[in-house]
Amino acid sequence: MKKNWKWSTMLSMVIIAALALSACGGNSGGSGNGAAGEKVNLTFTVWGDVNSGANEQQLADEFNKAHPDIQVKFEPIPSEGYGTKLTTSLAAGQAPDVFLIGEGDYFKYVEKGVVEPLDDYLSKDSDFSLDIFQKDLIDNMNINGNQYYLPKDFNPLALWYNKRMFDEAGLEYPSEDWTWDQLIETSKKLTKKEGNKYTEFGFNAGKWEYPIYTYLWDHGTDIANEDGTEAEGFMNGEKTVAAIEKYVALSQGEDRVSPTPQDAETLGGDSSMFMTDKLAMMVTGRWVKTDLDKSDVEYGSA
């Protein structure tokens, strides 16, 4: 696929750490208030099924050892329901002192007044510099002139392809020079039917917005202006509408090359389809690699 400067920010699935307002007083959820001789207790949470040997737990242990007057308790929350539980705990005034959120919630949490700007803390810590982070990530987390968030991790998207399905069809693997037209033409050759029933699909043109952004950019259009302040004439512009219609058509009609969102859900999602040789290509991030490596699928990325 063609490279685009926006991949470094808009397409990076940024996971960020946020300080809840209650953490600044040090008394969230029964935490100590930092009075003389009293230990300050802080809670830290992330999403995911994290075991006791997680990197975050090791960091908390090392921090606690170096700071005997502060006790950080690591309490991971399963990915399923993470957002709901976090929102509920914030509304009840019992939120973790430090937590992770995705880039889609940056402004929401700032507007609700539940995260604390980090500028004062950063200015007082001469040993810590924002220069260790990619600049556009930091800029993306600076809202109304205040640095509310810091990156935990991020990654670009990639095109993942099922080598067995390509080999069986006698097709060359995707390369970095591929265009969307090449992807679609190859997808047609990898899509199979038995009667009226689709058994294999060449590509998953799902409803997740990030792959759609890449599609729009490569078609010379976008959903907003350069700084993201205006959608009129962009999201409803002729080029955007035409590109979206073309993308949606990949999962419609008798000659479709992609499952519908309902098809994908019925078949266990694109990762499950990919690992069972029912899907030849998908666009997603590095988080899928762990599951792919546990399966017997033969895969590559581009």
pLDDT at 16: 52
8 A C-beta contact, residue 280 and residue 202: yes
Structure tokens at 60: 């908390």
pLDDT at 50: 64
Structure tokens at 8: 């470094």
Structure tokens at 151: 């990156």
Query: Is the pTM above the cut of 0.85?
Result: no
How would residue 6 be classed by pLDDT, with cut points 50, 70 and 90? very low
Q: What is the mean pLDDT of the chain?
A: 86
Evaluate the CA torsion angle 164, 270, 55, 301 in order and state its sign: positive
Of 60, 58, 101, which Cα lies nearest the Cα of 79? 101
- Between the alpha carbon of residue 291 and those of residues 157, 237, 271, 301, the distances in Å are 16, 39, 8, 15
Question: Rounded CA gap, 197 and 192, in Å?
Answer: 9
How would residue 190 be classed by pLDDT, with cut points 50, 70 and 90? very high
Percentage of the chain beyond pLDDT 70 is 86
The 10s digit of each residue's pLDDT in 24-68 is: 444 444 444 556 668 999 999 998 776 656 788 999 999 999 999
Give Cβ neighbours of residue 81 (< 8 Å, ≥ 6 apart): none
The 10s digit of each residue's pLDDT in 136-179 is: 899 989 999 999 999 988 888 999 999 999 999 999 999 989 99
pLDDT at 55: 84
Between helix 238-248 and helix 209-218 the angle, nearest 10°, is 120
Q: Give Cα 7 to chain centroid, integer Å.
A: 12
